[in-house]
Amino acid sequence: MRISYLLFLFALTLNCLTLQAEEKNEIPDVNGCLKCHSHQTITFTNTLTKHEDKRLMNPLYILDKDHFAKGVHAKFKCIDCHSSEYDHYPHKAELKLEPLNSCLDCHGGDAKYASYKFEKIDEEFQKSIHFKKIGESFTCSKCHNQHYYQAKSRNSSIVSDIVLFSNEMCMSCHSNNNKFQLLSDKLKPALAQIHEWLPNQELHFKNVRCIECHTQVVDSLAVSHNILPKEKALKNCEECHSKNSMLEASLYKYKNLQSRNQKGKLNTIISNKSYVIGAYQNIWLQRASFIILALILVGIGAHVTARILKKLI
Amino acid sequence: MKESENRIYFYPIWIRIWHSLNAIGIMILIYTGLNMYYSNRGFRLMDFQLAINLHNITGIMVGLSYLIFTIGNLRTTNHKHYKVKRTGMFEKIKIQSQYYMIGMFKNQHPPYPLSEKRKFNPLQKLIYSIIMYIFMPGLIITGIGLLLPELIIENVYQLSGIFLTAILHASLGFLVTMFLIIHLYVASIGKHPLANFKSILNGYHNTNAH
């Protein structure tokens, strides 16, 4: 009897520990929103028929929990941003019209995130073609999905990850007609055709961010937010493919790429699995080649002199 | 096919066509390659896009001319001239080098006079073989890789495959450039500085010239 009592206590403790461990990995769901909003189906009591109903969730309102857990707002409760009235089901129709916060509503003047320079970002964004053409309705969330956004360019040390994450933001509208037409009457641009002039297009798209050519680089910002009109986009190869490559000031400028990899710039670029023609000019290879060339020229010079002397004598 | 005692038909037409294509092509490749490698925003000799396009087109042309060389070598006896005999190879090279450095200034006769059977001296044989059978295929293979980067292995351990391919391509390109400088200079060692240049154009070689 006593043993079974002890075993019961042990099992209870173990159960509590396991639950605690599970809770640690869980994203906060105080109001139980995710019971429905992270599943494909919803089961509820139909107030008219008084029956249990099981229906498909609107896919637009399903949250990817894993993706959310990696995002910058993973610690947030749903009602930190959404109305607390959402705790009743069916939700009130007018709740959908509630204005949502933009980045500056929370982060404006926020000393904790001063290094992100949200005000400067806003200032730059207001110069961009997105703001000039669309105005206030082009909110931060059009590119930066609040549920899933990760500060990749700031925190990742893998260039290909930074590029992929950044380009997916652009592509979410520029290669999706439905989303593109939320803000434009036109069809999405034919990106492959427009960029036909670009040699090794696929390689460029995979290794360089769209914003490298389509923004005005500002030294004080980690990521430039002044998206330029298409006719002002860079089309000059040497901007990147040169000794003083522009990429040093944009894609490779982040301290994290340097400091996390203590091997210096050259190795950072190598370990980040990228090679840019023209931008990679190894000083040791250059010195070695100049020495070899000089030796050959000196040798030829001496030989020529000897030949001339022989003729003269 | 002897023309006279000292004049022999040395370079058949296919060799001269291949050699001309190769010579022009390699000079364009070196110039455009230097423009790409030492690209600088402040100073440029050539438009980067033009350098890339010219380098790609010329690279393909030189690749095709290498095909002419390979087929020509297989179908004729030209390949025999590149055959390096290992026995006494270093000794022969030493003798030839000594001739270039000392002997020729003392009016000595070339140790390995050229004839219909021996088109290249031992030093030429070795260097030409390294260039044609190692460096050129290396350049063509890495060049194809850089032209079609999807063919390249993405990562070799911690290193980027493109990085390795590009460094190998540029290094081989540099070595071929150094060869070209020496080749052009050594070609000027003849009875007359331009005699050998004339030979590779008209096909006839004066056996007293080298």
Residue A260 pLDDT: 47
Q: Return d(Cα A189, Cα A114) in angstroms, integer.
A: 36
Q: Judge whether A309 lies within some domain.
A: no
Indicate the number of domains in chain A. Answer: 2
Whether A275 and A130 share a structural domain: yes
Q: Where do the H-state alpha helices sit in chain A?
A: 2-25, 34-37, 65-70, 78-81, 103-107, 118-125, 129-134, 152-155, 159-174, 177-180, 191-194, 201-207, 210-214, 255-259, 264-271, 283-312
Whether A282 and A134 share a structural domain: yes
Indicate the number of domains in chain B. Answer: 1
Chosen for mutation from A201, A277, A300 (greatest number of chain B CBs closer than 10 Å) is A277
Closest Cα of chain A to B31: distance in Å?
A: 14
Is some CB atom of chain A closer than 8 A to the CB atom of B149? yes
Q: Which helix (H) or strand (E) holds A95?
A: none
- Number of A to B CB contacts under 8 A, please give it: 81
- State the burial class of residue B48 (Cβ atoms within 10 Å of its Cβ: 0-12, 13-18, 19+): buried
Residue B17 pLDDT: 92
Is some CB atom of chain A closer than 8 A to the CB atom of B5? no
Q: Judge whether B2 lies within some domain.
A: no
Whether A130 and A169 share a structural domain: yes
Whether A57 and A158 share a structural domain: no
Closest Cα of chain B to A162: distance in Å?
A: 17
Q: Judge whether B155 lies within some domain.
A: no
Of the pLDDT bands very low, low, confident and very high (cuts 50, 70, 90), residue A170 is very high
Q: Judge whether A1 lies within some domain.
A: no
Per the model's pLDDT, the better-predicted residue between B44 and B205 turns out to be B205
Average pLDDT, chain A: 82
Q: Judge whether A121 lies within some domain.
A: yes
- Which residue, A184, A206, A174, is CA-closest to A138? A184
Q: Judge whether A310 lies within some domain.
A: no
Give the chain A residue whose CA is nearest to the CA of B154. Answer: A273
Q: Which helix (H) or strand (E) holds A135?
A: none
Q: Judge whether B119 lies within some domain.
A: yes
Residue A155 pLDDT: 80
- Does the pLDDT at position A195 exceed 60? yes
Closest residue to B39, CB basis, from A275, A278, A307: A278
Is some CB atom of chain A closer than 8 A to the CB atom of B44? yes
Is some CB atom of chain A closer than 8 A to the CB atom of B106? no
Whether A30 and A146 share a structural domain: no
Whether A115 and A59 share a structural domain: no
- Does the pLDDT at position A225 exceed 80? yes
* Contacts with B41 from chain A: Cβ below 8 Å: 238-239, 242-244
Average pLDDT, chain B: 87
* Contacts with A278 from chain B: Cβ below 8 Å: 36-39, 48
Closest residue to B185, CB basis, from A202, A274, A300: A300
Per the model's pLDDT, the better-predicted residue between B149 and A48 turns out to be A48
Is some CB atom of chain A closer than 8 A to the CB atom of B195? no
Whether A183 and A219 share a structural domain: yes
Q: Return d(Cα B171, Cα B135) in angstroms, integer.
A: 10
Whether A145 and A275 share a structural domain: yes
Whether A107 and A34 share a structural domain: no
Residue range(s) defining the domain that contains residue A46: 17-83
Does A241 contact B159 at a Cβ distance shorter than 8 Å?
no
Whether A258 and A129 share a structural domain: yes
Whether A77 and A209 share a structural domain: no
Q: Judge whether A302 lies within some domain.
A: no
pLDDT (mean) for A231-255:
75
Is some CB atom of chain A closer than 8 A to the CB atom of B45? no
Q: Judge whether B153 lies within some domain.
A: no
* Contacts with B40 from chain A: Cβ below 8 Å: 238, 242-244
Integer-rounded Cα radius of gyration of chain A: 29
- CA–chain centroid gap for B176, Å, is 7
Q: Judge whether A78 lies within some domain.
A: yes
Closest residue to B178, CB basis, from A199, A278, A293: A293
Whether A184 and A264 share a structural domain: yes
Q: B9 phi and psi, to 5 degrees? A: -80, 105
Residue range(s) defining the domain that contains residue B80: 7-140+170-206
Give the chain A residue whose CA is nearest to the CA of B100. Answer: A303
pLDDT (mean) for A47-51:
88
Q: Judge whether B145 lies within some domain.
A: no
Q: Quick one: what percent of chain A has pLDDT higher than 70?
A: 81
